[in-house]
């Protein structure tokens, strides 16, 4: 989900053939446009400048992509950046229409705030960027800096009016963690994999008070976990499965299966998966900082998405077909990634060939 508070993305590739110089609009929305050359220049900075890539990665709390080659072309990269530019133009136009503060003083303050936030988030996520956040921002083309500052200033004002956003600072993250501490426990779980034909009987015994181990022994068809009383092990916040486990057991009492199973495929047959928490271990804030930051960012994004989409629904958007197509997804209007080959690194001759075949507007 794209954020409206700070309109930056992590980018790890370039999206157009080297040496092509065009002043056609790569992206336009209503009366605003970004030229093809400016669009590609900003992508190249974020792809090749390790410092910029490091700081901008803090927006989504993910590790920077350090292995991208100078000649790499990633279609998703171009589409993400197109979405960012469109968001920036949309919110800036809204600011102009509703006379939100956009003076030189406001933009200067926004720049200081944005740079400070990038530094704070990098520190919170324990990233060791090779330079300063100020240098990372300064590496962008001047016109792109202006767009991001204007849209960020407007976004912050609008989010303040919404009254529910949380600034990503260490004190705020600590407060959020303290209010949601149980959401970051290490979870030990038990599961029952129940055939559809047995679901009614399972629920009847469950309502009658049968224990987790009793339900597992009677109904589960997963022999490996069944032999351990349903135990599937423990999942710490660092586990890639943690978010799924946390969702599956949300709101459940200890040692109790939920009332509604999750449908999964087991040996080619759809069955019901029940999950119960058998024990919890509290984790310190320092061990879960990154997950807390990610959760807060997701909450902020959800808060602002309705307003953002209301702007984009009404916008007249046009993009270079090489970058993708503008359409309506379940989460709202966005740029869809174009259908290009799954190639991540190749020489310039191959680059030109792929661009000519799949991105004809760059010829």
Residues 15-40 have a mean pLDDT of 68
Q: Using CA atoms, how far apart are residues 315 and 333, in angstroms rounded to an integer?
A: 10
With a cut of 50, say whether residue 355 has pLDDT above it.
Answer: no
With a cut of 70, say whether residue 97 has pLDDT above it.
Answer: yes
- Domains of the chain in sequence order: 25-175+288-362 (no CATH), 186-281 (3.10.50.40)
* DSSP conformation letters of 298-337: HHHHHHHHHHHHHHHHT--EEE-GGG-EEEEETTEEEEEP
Sign of the torsion angle spanned by Cα atoms 342, 347, 348, 353: negative
With a cut of 70, say whether residue 302 has pLDDT above it.
Answer: no
Mark out the alpha helices in the chain (DSSP H runs): 36-48, 50-56, 75-97, 104-124, 133-138, 142-162, 170-179, 199-207, 212-219, 223-226, 242-249, 285-313, 348-358
Residues 47/11, Cβ–Cβ less than 8 Å: yes
Stretch among 262-271, 303-312, 346-355 having the lowest mean pLDDT: 346-355
Q: Using CA atoms, how far apart are residues 88 and 110, in angstroms rounded to an integer?
A: 14
Please indicate whether residue 17 or residue 326 has the higher confidence score (pLDDT).
326
Residue-level pLDDT at 229 = 94
Please indicate whether residue 190 or residue 54 has the higher confidence score (pLDDT).
190
With a cut of 60, say whether residue 138 has pLDDT above it.
Answer: yes
With a cut of 80, say whether residue 352 has pLDDT above it.
Answer: no
With a cut of 70, say whether residue 286 has pLDDT above it.
Answer: yes
Residues 92-114 have a mean pLDDT of 82
Top-confidence range, 153-157, 197-201, 238-242, 314-318: 197-201
SS3 171: helix
H or E element, residue 33: strand 32-35
Residue-level pLDDT at 209 = 94
What is the residue whose two structure tokens read 């190639």?
Answer: 343
pLDDT band (50, 70, 90) for residue 77: low
Residues 59-69 have a mean pLDDT of 40
With a cut of 90, say whether residue 342 has pLDDT above it.
Answer: no
With CA atoms as reference, report the closest residue to 33 among 115, 92, 110.
Answer: 92
Tokens of 166: 């949380």
Tell me, yes or no, if the pTM score tops 0.75: no
Residue-level pLDDT at 82 = 81
Residues 284-310 have a mean pLDDT of 76
- 205 contact partners, CB below 8 Å, separation of at least 6: 214, 215, 218, 219
Residues 284-296 have a mean pLDDT of 84
User: How many C-alpha atoms does 42 have within 13 Å on its Cβ side?
Assistant: 27
pLDDT band (50, 70, 90) for residue 58: low
Tokens of 221: 């068809």
H or E element, residue 186: strand 186-195
Stretch among 47-61, 198-212, 254-268 having the lowest mean pLDDT: 47-61
């Amino acid at each position: 989900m794209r954020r409206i508070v700070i309109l930056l993305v992590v980018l790890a590739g370039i999206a157009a053939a080297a040496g092509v110089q065009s002043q056609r609009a790569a992206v336009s929305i209503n009366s605003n446009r970004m030229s093809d050359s400016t669009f590609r220049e900003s992508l190249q900075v974020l792809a090749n400048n390790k410092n910029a890539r490091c700081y901008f990665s803090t927006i989504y709390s993910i590790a920077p992509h350090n292995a991208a080659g100078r000649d790499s072309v990633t279609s998703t990269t171009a589409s993400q950046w197109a979405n960012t530019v469109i968001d920036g133009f949309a919110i800036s136009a809204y600011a102009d229409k509703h006379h939100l503060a956009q003076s030189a003083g406001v933009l200067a303050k926004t720049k200081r705030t944005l740079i400070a936030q990038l530094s704070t988030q990098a520190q919170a996520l324990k990233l060791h960027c090779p330079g300063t956040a100020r240098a990372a921002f300064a590496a962008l083309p001047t016109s792109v800096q202006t767009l991001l500052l204007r849209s960020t200033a407007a976004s912050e004002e609008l989010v303040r009016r919404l009254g529910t956003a949380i600034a990503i600072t260490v004190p705020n993250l600590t407060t959020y963690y303290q209010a949601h501490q149980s959401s970051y426990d290490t979870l030990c779980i038990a599961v029952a994999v129940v055939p559809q034909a047995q679901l009614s009987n399972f629920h009847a015994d469950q309502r009658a008070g049968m224990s987790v181990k009793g339900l597992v022994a009677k109904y589960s068809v997963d022999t490996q976990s069944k032999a351990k009383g349903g135990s599937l092990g423990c999942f710490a916040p660092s586990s890639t499965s943690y978010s799924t486990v946390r969702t599956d057991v949300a709101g459940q009492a200890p040692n109790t299966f939920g009332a509604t199973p999750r449908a999964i495929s087991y040996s080619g047959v759809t069955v019901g998966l029940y999950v119960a928490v058998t024990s919890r271990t509290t984790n310190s804030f320092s061990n879960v900082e990154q997950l807390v930051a990610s959760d807060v960012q997701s909450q902020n994004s959800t808060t602002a998405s309705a307003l953002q989409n209301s702007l984009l629904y009404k916008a007249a958007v046009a993009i270079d077909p090489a970058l993708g197509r503008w359409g309506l997804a379940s989460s709202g209007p966005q740029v869809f990634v174009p259908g290009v080959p799954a190639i991540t690194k190749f020489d310039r001759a191959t680059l030109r060939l792929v661009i000519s075949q799949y991105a004809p507007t760059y010829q």
